[in-house]
Amino acid sequence: MAVPSSGEISLWGIAKEMETDDYNNSISISLYNYYYATPISLTNMSTGAGGFDAIETNNSSANRPNGTAPHAMSEFYSYNHDEPSAGGGRK
């Protein structure tokens, strides 16, 4: 499930979207810390650094962070880390 398109969003939710492809995943922070990139950093998520995957470019440019500072959580509105390609297949 992608990051919501409006309203309040959280850094924790964005991290879960980046790592589990589900903004609302119920994974505990301790389990997340065991398996995925830490520390959770907006800069690292926005740029694909620190163990985070690169931003999925199948999203329209309006629905993904631009990768340049200053970084903002609002750049992640509607971001879908497992967005299918234009050909329709999932990664």
- List pLDDT tens digits, range 1-49: 999 999 999 999 999 999 999 999 999 999 999 999 889 999 999 999 9
Query: Does 84 reside within a domain?
Result: no
Query: Does 27 reside within a domain?
Result: yes
Domain around 45: 11-76
**Contacts made by residues 41-49, CB under 8 angstroms, sequence distance 24+:** 42/11, 42/14, 42/71, 42/72, 42/73, 43/69, 43/71, 45/14, 45/15, 45/18, 45/76, 46/71, 46/75, 47/71
How many other CB atoms are there within 10 angstroms of residue 10's CB atom? 12
pLDDT of res. 75:
97
What six digits make up the tokens of 64?
């993904």
| Count of domains observed in the chain | 1
Query: Does 4 reside within a domain?
Result: no
